[in-house]
Amino acid sequence: QVQLVESGGGLVQPGGSLRLSCDVRVSIFSINTMRWYRQAPGKERERVAAIYSGGSTMYVGSVKGRFAISKDNATVYLQMNSLEPEDTAVYYCNAILTPWPSSVAWEYWGKGTLVTVSS
């Protein structure tokens, strides 16, 4: 059973930083794409960052220069700096990966971690 478990959310003041982690809990797998989404109250879910198998990354314009996605072994991170109140949302880890013994890629979602940016 594949599980994505996010951690690192919490309350932070504007201008502060948080580092979100997403642990991919499966014994054998091959990652195609790892992404971070967020959903604020009353708003649609938004993709904020992605890292692809070739190492390339993407960011939504509103977080460029402030957020950085990275991966280390079976964990993907989202470093968030210079946080703004508009960044307040539930952040979700999303993965497209191939878990053994499957030969095709599947999409998985974590349950989310809440980030609140407020003074």
**What is the C-alpha separation between 65 and 62, in angstroms, rounded?**
9
pLDDT tens digit sequence for 73-101: 889 999 999 999 999 999 999 999 988 88
* HSE-up (13 A, CA, CB side) for residue 31: 23
Can you give the pLDDT at residue 71? 92
Phi, psi (5° rounding) for residue 56? -75, 155
95 contact partners, CB below 8 Å, separation of at least 6: 2, 4, 22, 24, 31, 33, 34, 35, 76, 107, 108
Phi, psi (5° rounding) for residue 73? 60, -115
Is the predicted pLDDT of residue 30 greater than 90, yes or no? no
**Angle CA 86–12–116, to nearest 5:** 45
